[in-house]
Amino acid sequence: MEIPWVIEEHTKVKHQLLKSYINPWMAILFSQQKRMGFPERLFYFDGFSGPGIYYEDNSESSTCLGSPLIVAEIANKYLDANSKREIILTCTDNHGGCVNMLNQKLTEMNKHEQRWKAYHAEFDTAINAILDLIEEDGLNTSPMFFFIDPFGYSGFPLSTIERILKFPQAELFINFMIYDIIRFCEEKQFEENMEALFGCKEFKKVSALNGEEKQSYLVNLYCKQLKNVARAEFVMPFRINTPKQGNRPKYYLIHASKKFKALKVMKDTMAKISDSPYSFVAIGISSQESLFENPDKVSLRERISKYCQDKYPDWIDYSEIEAWTYSNTNGISKTIKEALIALEKDNALNIKRKPRQRANTVTEGAKIVYIG
């Protein structure tokens, strides 16, 4: 493997998502820790870290940052603002060349003398040893972000994901390489790896399905396992298509967490980067003009209406509708508000706003009731 390698279009989208999320992740958690009088300390783990840089194009004349250094750059901004803060960056890669290059770059960027280090190790062995140390040091409740970005689909068994999610403030951002998984999941020789990935044998049912069905079955199965076995409360996938191959998926970036706030910030981040307003997807999406209303928009409105109908005759807090919609549908604040206002106009809902709340929006404090 030549190091570094040239960055691809899909990697840029992945980095954009990571960067746009890690920024508010640091801001929100530091301010929470400060408010509660806790030490301002965050852990970032890059499990399949790569060398930290990429060539920007085939001319190999300029470079851009890879995931661990993108995070190091953001970390420096928060450390510049308050040098008492601690951001522990731990990286692992099983390629010695990547680790050497990354350690050199991390040292150059580490102006606040933080614990920033890359280890030459297999992710699964290293992360379990690191989690043992965190437990020994009694740091279990610290906020932790784990980026799992392999080349393939092995080396991060569901049993390890389950262990990570036992830490109450752990979040995972997993690159689920659906393209490769579909290619290999029916071959006998990869069965053991697949079973470790999914933590079950149900993936074998794909044999009875066709192409499109296979990919949604496998992504849904993995998301289901993240919830049911690894005990993630919230799971949010973002689809990245294969460049120049229409809407054929290359991988899904899946965020798993235990906190609603984490889901909300990640979903808002994904929505900003998505090429489509009611789904979470990038690359290969053509914006087609249609005579008809977007069916995803219609379905969101119908689901919110049904949720309110099921609660009839109770008045429901806007924040309850928002929390349910974020967790169970494609909605985010903007589209939830649009749906509620459309339903109000159709006389399907009544919205009681607080004094001084504007009639053309719905927000925290408003109460909603179904009227049919």
Q: Are strands 316-317 and 281-282 parallel, antiparallel or unpaired?
A: unpaired
Give the separation between CA 324 and CA 326, rounded to whole angstroms. Answer: 6
Least Å from the CB of residue 185 to ligand SAM: 18
Q: Judged by CB under 6 A, does residue 50 bind ligand SAM?
A: yes
Q: How far is the CB of 75 from ligand SAM (least distance, A)?
A: 15
- Specify the stretch interacting with ligand SAM by CB under 6 A; choose among 46-54, 227-235, 276-284, 345-353: 46-54
In the chain, which residue ranges form alpha helices assigned H by DSSP? Answer: 9-35, 67-81, 96-109, 123-136, 158-164, 178-184, 191-198, 211-228, 260-273, 295-311, 318-328, 333-345
Selected from 67, 90, 225, 305, the binder of ligand SAM by CB under 6 A is: 67
Binding residues with ligand SAM: total (CB under 6 A): 16
Name residue 306's amino acid: K
CA–CA distance, 254 with 236 (Å, rounded to integer): 6
- Residue 234 CB coordination number (10 Å): 21
What span, in angstroms and rounded, lies between the C-alpha atoms of 87 and 15? 19
Q: Is 44 in a helix, a strand, or coil? A: strand
Binding mask 84-113 for ligand SAM (x = CB under 6 A): --------xxxx--x---------------
If the CB atoms of residues 40 and 93 are measured against ligand SAM, the closer one turns out to be: 93
Using CB atoms within 10 A of its CB, is residue 287 exposed (0-12), middle (13-18) or buried (19+)?
exposed
- One of 60, 82, 129, 151 touching ligand SAM (CB under 6 A): 151
Instruction: Tell me the residue nearest to ligand SAM as measured from the CB.
Output: 66
Q: Give the one residue of 4, 66, 143, 331 binding ligand SAM; rule: CB under 6 A.
A: 66
Select from 155, 237, 284, 331 the one that contacts ligand SAM (CB under 6 A). 155
Can you tell me whether residue 189 is helix, strand or coil? helix
67-81 and 9-35 helices cross at what angle (nearest 10)? 30
171 binds ligand SAM, rule: CB under 6 A: no
Among 149, 197, 203, 263, binds ligand SAM (CB under 6 A): 149
Smallest distance from ligand SAM to CB 100, Å: 12
Residue 283 backbone class (left: φ over 0; alpha: ψ -120 to 50; beta: rest): left
The piece of 80-88, 150-158, 161-169, 218-226 that touches ligand SAM (CB under 6 A) is 150-158
Q: Which is nearer to ligand SAM, 155 or 237 (CB)?
A: 155
User: Cβ of residue 68: shortest distance to ligand SAM, in angstroms?
Assistant: 7
The smaller minimum CB distance to ligand SAM, of residues 67 and 225, is found at: 67
**CB 258 to ligand SAM: min, Å:** 23
Find the binding residues for ligand SAM in span 302-341 (CB under 6 A): none
Of 143, 150, 199, 237, which one interacts with ligand SAM (CB under 6 A)? 150
Cβ-contact 10, 240 below 8 angstroms: yes
Compute the Cα dihedral for 262, 265, 271, 272 and give only its sign. negative
Q: Nearer to ligand SAM by C-beta: 50 or 237?
A: 50
Q: How far apart are CA 125 and CA 121, in angstroms?
A: 7
- The encoded tokens of residue 277 equal 């307003």
> Among 93, 149, 168, which Cα is nearest to 126's?
93
Stretch that binds ligand SAM, among 143-151, 295-303, 316-324, 332-340 (CB under 6 A): 143-151
Separation between Cα atoms, residue 362 and residue 337, nearest integer Å? 6
Min dist. Cβ of residue 70 to ligand SAM (A) = 8
User: Contact between 4 and ligand SAM (CB under 6 A)?
Assistant: no
Closer residue to ligand SAM in complex, CB, 122/317: 122
Give the shortest CB-170-to-ligand SAM separation in angstroms. Answer: 18
Residues that bind ligand SAM in the complex, under the rule CB under 6 A = 48-50, 66-67, 92-95, 98, 122-123, 149-151, 155
